[in-house]
Protein backbone atom coordinates (compact mmCIF):
# COMPACT_ATOMS: atom_id res chain seq x y z
CA UNK A 1 0.00 0.00 0.00
CA UNK A 2 1.35 3.44 -0.80
CA UNK A 3 2.73 5.58 1.99
CA UNK A 4 0.82 8.50 3.41
CA UNK A 5 1.97 11.48 5.40
CA UNK A 6 0.68 11.76 8.93
CA UNK A 7 0.72 15.27 10.39
CA UNK A 8 -0.03 15.45 14.06
CA UNK A 9 1.34 16.72 17.35
CA UNK A 10 3.37 14.24 19.37
CA UNK A 11 4.39 15.18 22.89
CA UNK A 12 3.83 18.85 22.16
CA UNK A 13 5.85 18.93 18.94
CA UNK A 14 4.42 19.06 15.42
CA UNK A 15 5.38 15.89 13.56
CA UNK A 16 5.19 14.87 9.91
CA UNK A 17 5.92 11.23 9.32
CA UNK A 18 5.46 8.83 6.43
CA UNK A 19 3.23 5.93 7.40
CA UNK A 20 1.78 2.82 5.86
CA UNK A 21 -2.03 3.13 6.20
CA UNK A 22 -2.13 -0.43 7.55
CA UNK A 23 -0.13 0.35 10.64
CA UNK A 24 -1.41 0.95 14.14
CA UNK A 25 -0.55 4.06 16.10
CA UNK A 26 1.52 1.84 18.40
CA UNK A 27 3.59 0.76 15.36
CA UNK A 28 4.10 4.34 14.18
CA UNK A 29 5.09 5.65 17.60
CA UNK A 30 7.51 2.79 18.28
CA UNK A 31 9.02 2.07 14.89
CA UNK A 32 8.99 5.43 13.15
CA UNK A 33 9.26 7.88 16.03
CA UNK A 34 11.31 5.76 18.45
CA UNK A 35 8.86 6.23 21.32
CA UNK A 36 9.41 2.82 22.88
CA UNK A 37 7.58 3.61 26.11
CA UNK A 38 4.57 2.48 24.08
CA UNK A 39 4.58 -1.28 24.67
CA UNK A 40 2.96 -3.90 22.51
CA UNK A 41 1.47 -6.53 24.78
CA UNK A 42 -1.67 -8.32 23.62
CA UNK A 43 -2.22 -6.21 20.47
CA UNK A 44 -5.98 -6.74 20.74
CA UNK A 45 -6.93 -3.96 23.12
CA UNK A 46 -7.04 -6.01 26.30
CA UNK A 47 -3.84 -5.37 28.27
CA UNK A 48 -3.47 -1.58 28.08
CA UNK A 49 0.34 -1.64 27.69
CA UNK A 50 0.11 0.51 24.54
CA UNK A 51 -2.09 3.18 26.13
CA UNK A 52 -1.44 6.74 24.93
CA UNK A 53 -3.56 9.88 25.08
CA UNK A 54 -5.18 11.02 21.84
CA UNK A 55 -6.63 14.51 22.27
CA UNK A 56 -6.52 13.92 26.02
CA UNK A 57 -8.31 10.56 26.09
CA UNK A 58 -6.56 7.31 26.96
CA UNK A 59 -6.92 4.76 24.16
CA UNK A 60 -5.21 1.49 23.22
CA UNK A 61 -2.87 2.55 20.41
CA UNK A 62 -2.57 -1.06 19.16
CA UNK A 63 -6.15 -0.97 17.88
CA UNK A 64 -6.05 2.61 16.62
CA UNK A 65 -5.03 3.11 12.99
CA UNK A 66 -2.39 5.79 12.49
CA UNK A 67 -4.36 7.35 9.65
CA UNK A 68 -6.98 8.34 12.24
CA UNK A 69 -4.40 10.40 14.16
CA UNK A 70 -4.26 13.04 11.41
CA UNK A 71 -4.28 16.48 13.04
CA UNK A 72 -4.59 15.10 16.57
CA UNK A 73 -2.52 15.55 19.73
CA UNK A 74 -0.73 12.43 20.96
CA UNK A 75 0.91 12.13 24.36
CA UNK A 76 3.24 9.32 25.47
CA UNK A 77 5.37 8.87 28.57
CA UNK A 78 8.30 10.50 26.72
CA UNK A 79 6.29 13.73 26.76
CA UNK A 80 5.92 13.81 30.53
CA UNK A 81 9.43 14.80 31.58
CA UNK A 82 10.08 18.48 32.08
CA UNK A 83 12.85 20.34 30.23
CA UNK A 84 15.54 19.43 32.72
CA UNK A 85 14.68 15.76 32.34
CA UNK A 86 13.00 15.51 35.74
CA UNK A 87 10.28 12.92 36.15
CA UNK A 88 6.72 14.19 36.40
CA UNK A 89 4.94 14.07 39.79
CA UNK A 90 2.93 11.08 38.55
CA UNK A 91 6.08 9.17 37.58
CA UNK A 92 7.62 10.06 40.95
CA UNK A 93 4.55 8.72 42.73
CA UNK A 94 5.07 5.37 40.94
CA UNK A 95 8.71 5.33 42.08
CA UNK A 96 7.85 6.33 45.65
CA UNK A 97 5.16 3.67 45.98
CA UNK A 98 7.28 0.97 44.32
CA UNK A 99 4.43 0.53 41.86
CA UNK A 100 6.76 -1.08 39.32
CA UNK A 101 8.18 -4.55 39.05
CA UNK A 102 9.03 -5.67 35.51
CA UNK A 103 7.83 -2.30 34.21
CA UNK A 104 6.15 -3.48 31.04
CA UNK A 105 2.66 -2.27 32.02
CA UNK A 106 3.93 0.89 33.71
CA UNK A 107 4.03 3.42 30.84
CA UNK A 108 0.44 2.55 29.87
CA UNK A 109 -0.85 2.87 33.41
CA UNK A 110 1.01 6.16 33.83
CA UNK A 111 -0.76 7.52 30.76
CA UNK A 112 -4.15 6.54 32.23
CA UNK A 113 -3.02 8.18 35.47
CA UNK A 114 -2.20 11.36 33.52
CA UNK A 115 -5.79 11.49 32.32
CA UNK A 116 -7.17 10.64 35.78
CA UNK A 117 -5.05 13.29 37.55
CA UNK A 118 -5.74 15.79 34.79
CA UNK A 119 -9.48 15.50 35.34
CA UNK A 120 -8.95 17.55 38.52
CA UNK A 121 -11.38 15.32 40.43
CA UNK A 122 -10.84 13.22 43.51
CA UNK A 123 -11.81 9.58 43.46
CA UNK A 124 -12.52 6.79 45.90
CA UNK A 125 -10.24 3.79 45.77
CA UNK A 126 -13.03 1.81 44.13
CA UNK A 127 -13.40 4.45 41.41
CA UNK A 128 -9.66 4.41 40.78
CA UNK A 129 -9.77 0.62 40.54
CA UNK A 130 -12.32 0.96 37.76
CA UNK A 131 -10.42 3.75 36.02
CA UNK A 132 -7.28 1.61 35.71
CA UNK A 133 -9.17 -1.61 34.97
CA UNK A 134 -8.09 -1.45 31.32
CA UNK A 135 -4.56 -2.42 32.31
CA UNK A 136 -3.18 -5.83 33.09
CA UNK A 137 -0.19 -6.18 35.41
CA UNK A 138 1.15 -9.68 36.00
CA UNK A 139 3.68 -8.76 38.72
CA UNK A 140 2.47 -6.32 41.33
CA UNK A 141 -0.99 -7.44 42.33
CA UNK A 142 -2.09 -3.84 41.66
CA UNK A 143 -2.00 -2.62 45.27
CA UNK A 144 1.07 -0.45 44.88
CA UNK A 145 -0.16 0.80 41.53
CA UNK A 146 -3.39 1.93 43.17
CA UNK A 147 -1.37 3.52 45.96
CA UNK A 148 0.68 5.41 43.36
CA UNK A 149 -2.34 6.62 41.39
CA UNK A 150 -4.06 7.63 44.61
CA UNK A 151 -0.94 9.48 45.74
CA UNK A 152 -0.63 11.28 42.39
CA UNK A 153 -4.29 12.33 42.53
CA UNK A 154 -3.98 13.53 46.13
CA UNK A 155 -0.77 15.44 45.45
CA UNK A 156 -2.23 17.17 42.42
CA UNK A 157 -5.27 18.08 44.47
CA UNK A 158 -3.12 19.49 47.26
CA UNK A 159 -1.22 21.55 44.72
CA UNK A 160 -4.40 22.86 43.12
CA UNK A 161 -5.73 23.55 46.62
CA UNK A 162 -2.80 25.85 47.35
CA UNK B 1 0.83 -3.87 10.64
CA UNK B 2 -2.65 -5.11 9.90
CA UNK B 3 -3.42 -7.42 6.98
CA UNK B 4 -5.62 -4.96 5.09
CA UNK B 5 -5.77 -4.66 1.31
CA UNK B 6 -7.04 -1.08 1.23
CA UNK B 7 -8.56 1.58 3.43
CA UNK B 8 -10.85 4.23 2.05
CA UNK B 9 -11.32 7.12 4.43
CA UNK B 10 -14.80 8.41 3.77
CA UNK B 11 -15.26 12.19 3.72
CA UNK B 12 -18.99 12.09 4.46
CA UNK B 13 -21.78 9.60 5.10
CA UNK B 14 -22.87 9.81 1.46
CA UNK B 15 -19.28 9.31 0.35
CA UNK B 16 -19.05 6.19 2.53
CA UNK B 17 -22.31 4.85 1.06
CA UNK B 18 -21.09 5.30 -2.50
CA UNK B 19 -17.77 3.65 -1.59
CA UNK B 20 -19.69 0.68 -0.18
CA UNK B 21 -21.94 0.54 -3.24
CA UNK B 22 -18.95 0.36 -5.56
CA UNK B 23 -17.23 -2.36 -3.52
CA UNK B 24 -19.56 -5.20 -2.52
CA UNK B 25 -16.83 -6.82 -0.39
CA UNK B 26 -15.77 -3.77 1.62
CA UNK B 27 -16.21 -3.70 5.40
CA UNK B 28 -17.16 -0.64 7.41
CA UNK B 29 -14.78 0.29 10.21
CA UNK B 30 -15.86 2.80 12.88
CA UNK B 31 -14.24 2.60 16.34
CA UNK B 32 -12.13 -0.34 15.21
CA UNK B 33 -12.32 -2.23 18.51
CA UNK B 34 -14.07 -5.14 16.85
CA UNK B 35 -13.05 -5.02 13.18
CA UNK B 36 -9.29 -4.73 13.84
CA UNK B 37 -9.42 -7.69 16.23
CA UNK B 38 -11.12 -9.82 13.59
CA UNK B 39 -8.51 -8.79 11.02
CA UNK B 40 -5.72 -9.67 13.40
CA UNK B 41 -7.10 -13.10 14.20
CA UNK B 42 -7.33 -13.79 10.48
CA UNK B 43 -11.10 -13.88 10.14
CA UNK B 44 -11.24 -10.71 8.05
CA UNK B 45 -7.60 -10.70 6.93
CA UNK B 46 -6.94 -9.10 3.57
CA UNK B 47 -10.16 -7.09 3.68
CA UNK B 48 -10.88 -3.74 2.07
CA UNK B 49 -12.08 -1.15 4.58
CA UNK B 50 -14.27 1.90 4.37
CA UNK B 51 -13.44 3.98 7.43
CA UNK B 52 -16.11 6.21 8.94
CA UNK B 53 -13.97 6.86 12.03
CA UNK B 54 -13.50 10.52 11.22
CA UNK B 55 -17.12 11.35 10.35
CA UNK B 56 -17.65 12.72 13.83
CA UNK B 57 -19.40 15.88 12.76
CA UNK B 58 -22.13 13.94 11.03
CA UNK B 59 -22.33 10.90 13.26
CA UNK B 60 -21.14 11.60 16.80
CA UNK B 61 -22.91 13.02 19.81
CA UNK B 62 -26.17 12.80 21.73
CA UNK B 63 -28.88 15.42 21.35
CA UNK B 64 -32.36 16.00 22.69
CA UNK B 65 -34.71 16.73 19.78
CA UNK B 66 -37.29 19.50 20.21
CA UNK B 67 -40.01 16.84 20.59
CA UNK B 68 -38.09 15.21 23.46
CA UNK B 69 -36.72 12.22 21.53
CA UNK B 70 -33.15 11.21 22.39
CA UNK B 71 -31.03 11.15 19.23
CA UNK B 72 -27.76 9.28 19.45
CA UNK B 73 -25.15 9.52 16.71
CA UNK B 74 -23.87 5.99 16.08
CA UNK B 75 -20.23 7.10 16.33
CA UNK B 76 -20.84 8.15 19.93
CA UNK B 77 -18.42 6.15 22.03
CA UNK B 78 -19.45 4.16 25.08
CA UNK B 79 -17.69 6.83 27.08
CA UNK B 80 -19.49 9.62 25.24
CA UNK B 81 -22.80 7.92 26.01
CA UNK B 82 -22.05 7.43 29.71
CA UNK B 83 -20.94 11.03 30.22
CA UNK B 84 -23.66 12.64 28.08
CA UNK B 85 -25.88 15.00 30.08
CA UNK B 86 -28.80 14.14 27.81
CA UNK B 87 -28.38 10.40 28.44
CA UNK B 88 -28.09 10.98 32.20
CA UNK B 89 -31.25 13.08 32.24
CA UNK B 90 -33.39 10.86 30.00
CA UNK B 91 -32.18 7.24 29.73
CA UNK B 92 -29.53 6.90 32.48
CA UNK B 93 -29.65 3.09 32.33
CA UNK B 94 -28.20 3.20 28.82
CA UNK B 95 -25.21 5.22 30.07
CA UNK B 96 -24.76 2.72 32.90
CA UNK B 97 -24.83 -0.20 30.46
CA UNK B 98 -22.31 1.52 28.19
CA UNK B 99 -20.03 1.95 31.21
CA UNK B 100 -19.77 -1.83 31.60
CA UNK B 101 -18.30 -2.64 28.19
CA UNK B 102 -14.61 -3.58 28.13
CA UNK B 103 -12.40 -1.15 30.03
CA UNK B 104 -11.86 2.61 29.97
CA UNK B 105 -9.66 2.70 26.85
CA UNK B 106 -12.07 0.53 24.88
CA UNK B 107 -15.00 2.65 25.99
CA UNK B 108 -13.19 5.69 24.60
CA UNK B 109 -12.92 4.01 21.20
CA UNK B 110 -15.82 1.57 20.74
CA UNK B 111 -19.08 3.02 19.47
CA UNK B 112 -22.78 2.51 20.18
CA UNK B 113 -23.44 2.06 16.47
CA UNK B 114 -20.79 -0.62 16.20
CA UNK B 115 -22.27 -2.38 19.21
CA UNK B 116 -25.53 -2.76 17.25
CA UNK B 117 -24.18 -3.23 13.72
CA UNK B 118 -21.94 -6.18 14.54
CA UNK B 119 -25.07 -8.07 15.59
CA UNK B 120 -23.52 -9.70 18.62
CA UNK B 121 -25.67 -11.05 21.44
CA UNK B 122 -23.26 -10.02 24.20
CA UNK B 123 -23.26 -6.32 23.19
CA UNK B 124 -23.65 -4.50 26.50
CA UNK B 125 -25.77 -1.64 25.19
CA UNK B 126 -27.99 -3.74 22.90
CA UNK B 127 -30.40 -5.21 25.46
CA UNK B 128 -31.16 -1.81 26.96
CA UNK B 129 -31.75 -0.26 23.54
CA UNK B 130 -33.97 -3.21 22.77
CA UNK B 131 -35.95 -2.62 25.96
CA UNK B 132 -36.39 1.03 25.00
CA UNK B 133 -37.56 0.02 21.52
CA UNK B 134 -34.97 2.23 19.84
CA UNK B 135 -35.65 3.31 16.28
CA UNK B 136 -32.66 2.84 13.99
CA UNK B 137 -32.37 5.27 11.11
CA UNK B 138 -30.26 3.93 8.25
CA UNK B 139 -29.21 5.62 5.04
CA UNK B 140 -28.46 3.99 1.70
CA UNK B 141 -28.14 5.11 -1.91
CA UNK B 142 -31.93 5.47 -2.14
CA UNK B 143 -32.30 7.56 0.99
CA UNK B 144 -33.20 6.92 4.61
CA UNK B 145 -35.48 4.40 6.28
CA UNK B 146 -36.28 3.55 9.87
CA UNK B 147 -36.18 0.11 11.46
CA UNK B 148 -37.31 -0.77 14.95
CA UNK B 149 -34.54 -2.47 16.90
CA UNK B 150 -37.06 -5.28 17.42
CA UNK B 151 -36.74 -6.08 13.69
CA UNK B 152 -33.00 -5.44 13.53
CA UNK B 153 -31.44 -8.79 14.38
CA UNK B 154 -31.49 -11.47 11.68
CA UNK B 155 -29.16 -14.05 13.19
CA UNK B 156 -25.72 -14.28 14.76
CA UNK B 157 -23.73 -11.31 13.46
CA UNK B 158 -26.48 -10.48 10.95
CA UNK B 159 -28.60 -7.34 11.06
CA UNK B 160 -31.16 -5.69 8.80
CA UNK B 161 -28.58 -3.44 7.21
CA UNK B 162 -27.91 -3.73 3.49
CA UNK B 163 -24.27 -3.73 2.38
CA UNK B 164 -24.46 -0.16 1.11
CA UNK B 165 -26.39 1.22 4.09
CA UNK B 166 -25.05 2.96 7.18
CA UNK B 167 -26.69 3.41 10.56
CA UNK B 168 -26.94 7.20 10.91
CA UNK B 169 -29.06 7.71 14.03
CA UNK B 170 -30.35 5.81 17.03
CA UNK B 171 -33.59 7.38 18.26
CA UNK B 172 -35.22 6.68 21.61
CA UNK B 173 -38.65 8.32 21.37
CA UNK B 174 -39.81 10.33 24.38
CA UNK B 175 -42.88 8.12 24.78
CA UNK B 176 -40.55 5.10 25.17
CA UNK B 177 -38.55 6.50 28.08
CA UNK B 178 -40.73 9.06 29.86
CA UNK B 179 -41.96 7.67 33.17
CA UNK B 180 -39.73 4.58 32.93
CA UNK B 181 -36.79 3.65 35.11
CA UNK B 182 -34.35 0.88 34.29
CA UNK B 183 -31.47 -1.25 35.42
CA UNK B 184 -28.92 -3.33 33.52
CA UNK B 185 -26.97 -6.19 35.07
CA UNK B 186 -23.94 -7.65 33.35
CA UNK B 187 -22.72 -10.93 34.72
CA UNK B 188 -19.13 -11.72 33.76
CA UNK B 189 -16.22 -13.62 35.26
CA UNK B 190 -14.17 -10.44 35.70
CA UNK B 191 -15.53 -7.04 36.65
CA UNK B 192 -13.69 -5.38 33.74
CA UNK B 193 -12.34 -6.37 30.33
CA UNK B 194 -14.70 -9.27 29.97
CA UNK B 195 -17.58 -10.28 27.76
CA UNK B 196 -20.96 -10.79 29.40
CA UNK B 197 -21.81 -14.35 30.41
CA UNK B 198 -25.34 -13.02 30.55
CA UNK B 199 -26.79 -9.51 30.44
CA UNK B 200 -30.27 -8.44 31.46
CA UNK B 201 -31.92 -5.08 31.12
CA UNK B 202 -35.22 -4.36 32.84
CA UNK B 203 -37.32 -1.21 32.48
CA UNK B 204 -40.38 -0.58 34.60
CA UNK B 205 -43.18 1.94 34.67
CA UNK B 206 -44.72 2.16 38.13
CA UNK B 207 -48.21 3.11 39.25
CA UNK B 208 -48.61 6.58 40.78
CA UNK B 209 -48.24 5.17 44.31
CA UNK B 210 -45.09 3.25 43.23
CA UNK B 211 -46.40 -0.14 44.29
CA UNK B 212 -47.66 -1.79 41.10
CA UNK B 213 -45.99 -2.63 37.79
CA UNK B 214 -47.92 -0.62 35.27
CA UNK B 215 -45.74 -1.73 32.36
CA UNK B 216 -42.46 -3.57 31.97
CA UNK B 217 -39.70 -4.33 29.47
CA UNK B 218 -37.26 -7.19 29.83
CA UNK B 219 -34.42 -7.81 27.38
CA UNK B 220 -31.49 -10.21 27.47
CA UNK B 221 -28.07 -10.56 25.95
CA UNK B 222 -26.37 -13.99 25.63
CA UNK B 223 -29.65 -15.74 26.46
CA UNK B 224 -30.05 -16.62 22.79
CA UNK B 225 -28.25 -16.11 19.47
CA UNK B 226 -29.16 -12.40 19.42
CA UNK B 227 -30.33 -9.89 22.04
CA UNK B 228 -34.07 -10.19 22.52
CA UNK B 229 -37.11 -9.18 24.51
CA UNK B 230 -39.35 -11.42 26.60
CA UNK B 231 -42.72 -10.20 25.34
CA UNK B 232 -44.80 -12.79 27.22
CA UNK B 233 -43.12 -12.01 30.52
CA UNK B 234 -43.60 -8.30 29.94
CA UNK B 235 -47.34 -8.90 29.57
CA UNK B 236 -47.54 -11.32 32.49
CA UNK B 237 -45.87 -8.92 34.93
CA UNK B 238 -48.13 -6.01 34.06
CA UNK B 239 -50.52 -5.20 36.87
CA UNK B 240 -48.69 -7.21 39.55
CA UNK B 241 -47.53 -5.65 42.81
CA UNK B 242 -43.78 -5.04 42.51
CA UNK B 243 -42.80 -7.60 45.13
CA UNK B 244 -44.84 -10.28 43.38
CA UNK B 245 -43.37 -9.37 39.97
CA UNK B 246 -39.84 -9.58 41.38
CA UNK B 247 -40.65 -13.11 42.62
CA UNK B 248 -42.24 -14.30 39.38
CA UNK B 249 -40.26 -12.62 36.64
CA UNK B 250 -37.33 -15.05 36.63
CA UNK B 251 -39.40 -18.20 36.22
CA UNK B 252 -41.49 -16.52 33.54
CA UNK B 253 -38.45 -15.35 31.57
CA UNK B 254 -37.04 -18.90 31.53
CA UNK B 255 -39.94 -19.99 29.31
CA UNK B 256 -38.83 -17.54 26.64
CA UNK B 257 -35.04 -17.60 26.56
CA UNK B 258 -32.77 -20.04 24.74
CA UNK B 259 -29.32 -19.90 26.32
CA UNK B 260 -26.75 -22.48 25.25
CA UNK B 261 -23.54 -24.06 26.39
CA UNK B 262 -20.42 -22.21 25.37
CA UNK B 263 -16.85 -22.23 26.58
CA UNK B 264 -17.68 -19.20 28.72
CA UNK B 265 -20.46 -20.85 30.69
CA UNK B 266 -22.88 -23.77 30.64
CA UNK B 267 -26.50 -23.52 29.62
CA UNK B 268 -27.49 -24.55 33.15
CA UNK B 269 -25.52 -21.69 34.65
CA UNK B 270 -27.01 -19.17 32.22
CA UNK B 271 -30.50 -20.38 33.12
CA UNK B 272 -29.75 -19.87 36.79
CA UNK B 273 -28.34 -16.41 36.05
CA UNK B 274 -31.36 -15.40 33.99
CA UNK B 275 -33.78 -16.52 36.68
CA UNK B 276 -31.94 -14.77 39.49
CA UNK B 277 -30.82 -11.60 37.71
CA UNK B 278 -34.23 -10.79 36.17
CA UNK B 279 -35.70 -10.27 39.62
CA UNK B 280 -32.71 -8.29 40.81
CA UNK B 281 -32.80 -6.05 37.74
CA UNK B 282 -36.53 -5.42 38.19
CA UNK B 283 -36.14 -4.67 41.90
CA UNK B 284 -33.35 -2.19 41.23
CA UNK B 285 -35.21 -0.58 38.32
CA UNK B 286 -38.25 -0.15 40.60
CA UNK B 287 -36.08 1.36 43.36
CA UNK B 288 -34.68 3.85 40.86
CA UNK B 289 -38.27 4.69 39.95
CA UNK B 290 -39.08 5.46 43.59
CA UNK B 291 -40.46 2.15 44.87
CA UNK B 292 -39.73 1.12 48.45
CA UNK B 293 -38.61 -2.50 48.16
> CATH number of the domain that A147 lies in?
1.10.150.120
How many angstroms separate the CA of residue A129 from the nearest CA in chain B? 10
In a domain, B293, yes or no: no
Same domain, B64 and B167: yes
Q: What's the mean pLDDT in B122-138?
A: 98
> Pick from A1, A45, A67: which is nearest to B106 by CB?
A45
**Chain B residue numbers touching A21 (CB-CB < 8 A):** 4, 7
| pTM for this entry | 0.96
pLDDT at A160: 60
Same domain, A71 and A19: yes
Same domain, B144 and B242: no
In a domain, A84, yes or no: no
Cβ distance of B103 and A59 shorter than 8 Å: no
Angle of CA points B231, B236, B238, to nearest 5° = 100
Q: Is the pLDDT of residue A162 over 70?
A: no
Cα dihedral across residues B262, B265, B269, B270: positive or negative: negative
pLDDT band at A83, cuts 50/70/90? Answer: confident
Same domain, A101 and A123: yes
Q: Which domain CATH number covers A34?
A: 3.10.20.30
Are B122 and B199 in contact by the 8 Å Cβ rule? The answer is yes
Query: Torsion over CA of B100, A131, B180 and B249, rounded to 10 degrees?
Result: 40
Q: Is the pLDDT of residue A159 over 80?
A: no
Cβ distance of A59 and B32 shorter than 8 Å: no
pLDDT at A161: 54
Same domain, B198 and B281: yes
Question: Any bridge partners for residue B139, and if so which?
Answer: B144, B166
Same domain, A65 and A41: yes
Same domain, B236 and B138: no
Q: Is the pLDDT of residue B233 over 80?
A: yes
In a domain, B159, yes or no: yes
Same domain, A67 and A13: yes
Whole-angstrom distance, CA of residue B164 vs CA of residue B148: 19
pLDDT in tens, B158-196: 999 999 999 999 999 999 999 999 999 999 999 898 999
> Pick from B1, B36, B104: which is nearest to A112 by CB?
B104
Q: Which domain CATH number covers B91?
A: 3.30.465.10
Q: Would you put residue B129 in left (φ > 0), alpha (ψ -120 to 50) or beta?
A: alpha
Same domain, A101 and A73: no
In angstroms, the Cα distances linking B190 to A96, A132, B103, B151, B264 are: 29, 14, 11, 32, 12
CB atoms within 10 A of CB B31: 27
pLDDT band at B293, cuts 50/70/90? Answer: confident
pLDDT in tens, B9-59: 999 999 999 999 999 999 999 999 999 999 999 999 999 999 999 999 999
How many angstroms separate the CA of residue B230 from the nearest CA in chain A? 32
CB atoms within 10 A of CB A77: 24
In a domain, A162, yes or no: no
The reply to whether A68 touches chain B by the CB within 8 Å rule is yes
pLDDT band at A69, cuts 50/70/90? Answer: very high
Q: How many domains does chain B have?
A: 3
Q: What range defines the domain where residue B255 resides?
A: 180-288
Q: What's the mean pLDDT in A32-61?
A: 98
How many angstroms separate the CA of residue A98 from the nearest CA in chain B? 24
Same domain, B130 and B71: yes
* Radius of gyration from C-alpha coordinates of chain B: 19
Cβ distance of A130 and B4 shorter than 8 Å: no
Q: What range defines the domain where residue A108 resides?
A: 89-157
Q: How many domains does chain A have?
A: 2
The reply to whether B193 touches chain A by the CB within 8 Å rule is yes
The reply to whether B2 touches chain A by the CB within 8 Å rule is yes
Same domain, A71 and A36: yes
Q: What's the mean pLDDT in A41-59?
A: 97
Q: What DSSP state is assigned to residue A29?
A: I
Question: Any bridge partners for residue B6, and if so which?
Answer: B48
In a domain, B150, yes or no: yes
Same domain, A70 and A101: no
Amino acid sequence: MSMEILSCTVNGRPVEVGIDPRESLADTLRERLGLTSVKKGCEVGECGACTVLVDGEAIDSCIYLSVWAQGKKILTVEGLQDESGELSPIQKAFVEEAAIQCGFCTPGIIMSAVEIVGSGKQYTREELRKLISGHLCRCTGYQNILNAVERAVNEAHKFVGK
Amino acid sequence: MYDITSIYQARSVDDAISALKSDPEALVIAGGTDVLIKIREGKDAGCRLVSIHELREELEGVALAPNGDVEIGPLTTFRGCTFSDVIRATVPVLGEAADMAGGPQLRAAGTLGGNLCNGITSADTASTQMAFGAILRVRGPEGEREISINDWYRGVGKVALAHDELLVKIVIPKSHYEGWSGHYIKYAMRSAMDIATLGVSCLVKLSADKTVVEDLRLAFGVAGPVPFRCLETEKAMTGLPIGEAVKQIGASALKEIHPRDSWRASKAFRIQLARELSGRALAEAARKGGAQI
